[in-house]
Structure 1
Amino acid sequence: MATEQTIADERQEQTELEASLRNGSLLMTLAGVAFIGYGVVFLVLNFVGNGFELGVSTLDGMTKADLNPTVAYYISHLHIATAAFIISTGIAITALSWYGVRQRLRWAWATTVVAAVVGLALALPMHYTADAFTHDWVTHLGPIYLATVVFVIGVVMVYRGLNTT
């Protein structure tokens, strides 16, 4: 009798861990899609917005039209490149999470974690080093922080699911 209960408990635990893996990979995938969306907004604002990043309306009171045209073009160039890398990282995270992590491929899970951590670890500290320009923290960083929280929850859920025997 105790053996049957033990087997039932083990099956229940295995089912819960499989659900954790499945749901966690879904959250990681959704976060990847959010990264793509953030990058697309970043890109679109370069062309149809005020020419600056999400949450940045002026640089020390100067609009894009007030800047030297060469400097404005250079800023635009950097925004496009940054958007491209945000979008491409989001695509990689989305694809790896959906097609690799769901298949229990540890290398896919590790790659998504490394890609996200490297991108965020390099990009975010600059926002806290100086107040060289004003920006709306909620609109500028809020979306990426929200996507990161979703991603981290998914990563932890998947980790639990991957560590089953």
Structure 2
Amino acid sequence: MSEEVTRLLRRAYSDEIETVMNYLTNAIVLDGVRAAEIKESLDADINEELSHARLLGERLKQLDERPPSSYDFEARQQNLQPPEDSTDVLSVIDGVLEAEIDAIDTYRKLIKAAEKADDPVTEDLAVTILADEEAHRTEFRGYRKEYRKD
């Protein structure tokens, strides 16, 4: 087992948990008619992100490691924090995009590390989750285009 694979699995797990927390909080605090679609999208994505965390945690267990717990947690998603102005939907969209871009980068690194470590199971898992994250990025790029037109 590769230390790099384990490190990236742990980071991805923590990032997914942090994303769940921030999506949930933003879905609760955003206000306004224009926020409704974004809140619905965030709510829908919470379960998928939680599913990613579960898969990553199970993979760590299979590799005889444990997933990070709250004492191991280090928050990194500064731009996904709820905005002071609860109607500032664009700042949430931009925060989601930054988090998705970071996740995509992590999963691409995990794919390369797993390939180098001859770990096709982790590689396959990372490819599957990468596809989901790229779909989220595309969805929120569309929202950003729409909001910037206004």
The answer to whether the 8 A contact 1:22-1:158 is kept is no
- Shift of residue 39 of structure 1? 0.6
Task: Work out whether 1:106 is the aligned partner of 2:120.
Answer: no
Q: Secondary structure at the residue paired with 1:81?
A: coil
Counterpart pick for 1:155 among 140, 146, 150: 140
Counterpart in 2 of 1:40? Answer: 54
Tell me the number of residue pairs that the alignment of Structure 1 and Structure 2 aligns: 111
Per the alignment, do residues 29 and 124 of structure 1 end up closer, same or farther by CA in structure 2, a change over 3 Å counting? farther
Question: Which residue of structure 1 aligns with residue 99 of structure 2?
Answer: 115
Distance in 1 between the 2:104 and 2:123 partners?
17
Provide runs of 4+ in structure 1 moved above 3 Å: 21-32, 44-47, 136-139
Query: How far 1:135 sits from its partner (Å)?
Result: 0.9
8 Å CA contact retained: 1:31, 1:148: no
Aligned to 1:124, which of 101, 104, 108? 108
- TM-aligned CA distance change 1:110 to 1:150, over 3 Å: same
Provide the aligned C-alpha RMSD in A. Answer: 4.0
Question: For residues 31 and 142 of structure 1, what CA distance do their matches in structure 2 show?
Answer: 18
CA distance in 1, matches of 2:123, 2:139: 23
**Which stretch shows the higher mean deviation, 127-136 or 152-161?**
127-136
Shift of the 156–26 alpha-carbon distance from structure 1 to 2, 3 Å rule, reads farther
- SS of 2:49's equivalent? helix
Identity %: 4
Shift of 1:144: 0.9
Deviations 1:49-98 (A, max 9, x none): xx13xxxxxxxxxxxxxxxxxxx4xxx13xx029x87xx89xx97x97xx
Gaps of 5+ in 1: 1-17, 53-71
CA-CA distance at 1:131 after TM superposition: 2.1
Alignment of 1:15-164 (within 5 A): 26-27=40-41, 29-47=43-61, 51-52=62-63, 72=64, 76-77=65-66, 80-81=67-68, 103=87, 105-128=89-112, 130-136=115-121, 139-164=124-149
- Using the TM superposition, give the Cα deviation of residue 123 of structure 1 relative to its aligned residue in structure 2, in angstroms: 4.0
Matched residue type, 1:43: G
Gap regions ≥5 residues in structure 2 = 1-32
How far 1:138 sits from its partner (Å)? 7.5
Distance 1:162 1:104, change over 3 A: farther
